[in-house]
Amino acid sequence: MRMLALTLPLIMLAPRSSGRKWQQLHQRPYTGPLAASSGFDSEGSAAREVVALEKPTWETAQRRDIGAYAAFMSDDFVLVNEEGVSNKKQAVHSLNGLTIQRYRLADIRLDDFSPNAVMIAYQVNVKLGGQASEIVSYRSLLWVKRQGRWLNVFDGPCVIGFPGLIASKALMGERIGRLR
């Protein structure tokens, strides 16, 4: 069973005490180079560093550079999607046979939990080889700084709407009848 980690959106995680006050204090839309229209004023260096890692992560996936893509992930990386829970090896394997023609990130939001832990969430539109239309999904990734290096420790994609899920499953070569 192949997993298509890159095309499935992520659900945004928030602490149990989430609410307006938490969002005002911690959730800031980002307006840097990756998301010119989202309105985030990133002042923290941790947030800037994590945002700067997203584009090279997508570029390595687009080039199917497995080694470089894996280098962005921690050894204890966890992917959670509609297929269940996967590890780093399984997530990296999902690049095999995948052709990303183009991608576009939008509505980037950052949650800086500490100077060494940042969650980034955004919408991504991905055009895959062999697909007539883009797949739209949300991503939320948790990046943690370990030994001076930022690593992606969690990815929880979430597809927008059932048609996106069908397209993703078809690309993975799985039978759609199982979803009914």
**Tens of pLDDT along 62-96?**
999 999 999 999 999 999 987 889 999 999 998 88
> For residue 131, what pLDDT is reported?
81
Supply the DSSP symbol for 85. Answer: E
pLDDT for 132-148, tens place per residue?
888 889 999 999 999 99
- Considering the domain boundaries, does residue 180 fall inside one? no
Asked whether the predicted pLDDT for residue 3 surpasses 60, the reply is no
When mean pLDDT is compared across 5-19, 93-107, 152-166, the lowest value belongs to 5-19
Q: State residue 37's pLDDT score.
A: 30
Q: What is the tally of structural domains in the chain?
A: 1
- What are the pLDDT digits (tens) for 25-36? 334 444 444 433
| Domain presence at residue 74 | yes
In a domain, 179, yes or no: no
CATH number at residue 92: 3.10.450.50
Question: 140 forms bridges with which residues in the sheet?
Answer: 121
Residue 22 falls inside a structural domain: yes
Domain extent for 90: 5-174
The pTM (predicted TM-score) of the whole model is: 0.67
Cβ pair 180, 104 in contact under 8 A:
no
What's the DSSP call for residue 105?
E
pLDDT reported for residue 18:
37
pLDDT of residue 134: 87
State the pairing for strand pair 84-87/158-159.
Answer: unpaired
In a domain, 66, yes or no: yes
Looking at the domain assignment, is residue 141 inside a domain? yes
> Cα–Cα distance between 76 and 90 in angstroms, integer?
12
Residue 41's pLDDT band, with cuts at 50, 70 and 90, is very low
Q: Is the pLDDT of residue 54 over 50?
A: yes
Using a pLDDT cut of 90, give the percent of the chain over it.
46
Give the Cβ contact number of residue 101 at 10 Å. Answer: 12
